[in-house]
Amino acid sequence: MTLTNQVALVTGAGNGIGRATALALAAAGAHVIAADIAGQQAEATAETIRSSQRRALAVQADVGDLADIDRMVRQALETFGQIDILVNNAGVTRRADIMDVTEQDWDRIHRVNAKGVFFCLQRVAREMILQRNGRIINIASIAGKGYVGASNVAYAASKGAVIGMTKLAALQLAKHNINVNSVCPGVTRTALSDANLQVRAQQDGVTLEEMERRRADLIPLKRANDPEDIAAMVVFLASAGARNITGQSFNVDGGLIPD
């Protein structure tokens, strides 16, 4: 699954799934633009990639801001001249019951998880159309497929939107030789999921260790994802081995939900 000299743009690359994905793409041979709203974290990811003798660019960008998206893409093109792979990973959430979700929650979550994904996809696709080639991989979630353990209903709705736009974008961009797929992580060990787990432990009056055990017991394979599990699927979807796969949403969840 070599990606030698391919150029990959990864949003939310400062930590968690985004960082693991940026490093995995670089390990497969790609040059990487590591974008994150936290510029220092983006730079840390880029520096790690550079230490492995791959080229990397760090960009501070808020994917909910169209001007930032355009600047991010322009910087990528000025540095590398092309974008072959887009990984739409940036996302936000918080743990909340359906009756506790606020308008502020809804707007914040959809601004990044739905609006950000679409307009990053659209902006990069403009360049890929000119190249007559590209791979777009959106990080959705099994929450978008009805997973009962979703952090909140607004998050589930935003990830359902990602799955829907993946399907339609794949159909409309296929004529330009652009593949569009999404990855739907299940329970994954990241700072974001750990914060949600801490809230659940406090709500249930149990230790964090007990909540981690309960979480693992619900997974048929009895283990949560590491970010690298998601990154491995992204690398495959970005590779020539997935050249005839488009419009699909792949669960990486240890068997949590059937699909």
* Mean local confidence (pLDDT), 202-206: 88
How many CB atoms within 10 Å of residue 243? 10
Cβ atoms of residues 224 and 197 within 8 Å: no
- Summarize pLDDT for 97-107 with one digit per residue, the tens: 999 999 999 99
- Does the annotation count 155 as an active-site position? yes
Secondary structure (DSSP) of 198-227: HHHHHHHT--HHHHHHHHHHTSTTS-PBPH
- Specify the pTM: 0.93
Would the pLDDT of 256 be above 80? yes
What number is the average pLDDT over the span 237-256? 97
Q: Which domains are delineated in the chain?
A: 7-187+227-252 (3.40.50.720)
Check pLDDT > 70 for residue 3. Answer: yes
Res 193: pLDDT: 75
pLDDT digits (tens, 9 = 90+) for 145-164: 999 999 999 999 999 999 99
Tokens 């994150």 found at: 36
pLDDT in tens, 214-235: 888 999 999 999 999 999 999 9
Q: How confident is the model at residue 122 (pLDDT cuts 50, 70, 90)?
A: very high
Grade residue 1 by pLDDT with cuts at 50, 70 and 90: low
Q: What is the rounded CA–CA span in Å between residue 254 and residue 88?
A: 22
**How would residue 12 be classed by pLDDT, with cut points 50, 70 and 90?**
very high
Q: How is 221-247 classified by DSSP, letter by letter?
A: TS-PBPHHHHHHHHHHHHSGGGTT--S
User: Which residues 6+ apart lie within 8 Å of 20 measured at CB?
Assistant: 226, 227, 228, 230, 231
pLDDT of residue 216: 87
Average pLDDT estimate for 195-201: 81
Q: Are 38 and 11 in contact (CB under 8 A)?
A: no
Q: Which amino acid is present at 38?
A: A
pLDDT tens, position by position, 171-196 = 999 999 999 999 999 999 887 777 77
* Residue in 155, 179, 186, 246 annotated catalytic: 155
pLDDT tens per residue across span 16-70? 999 999 999 999 999 999 999 999 999 999 999 999 889 999 999 999 999 999 9
Q: What is the mean pLDDT of residues 137-141?
A: 98
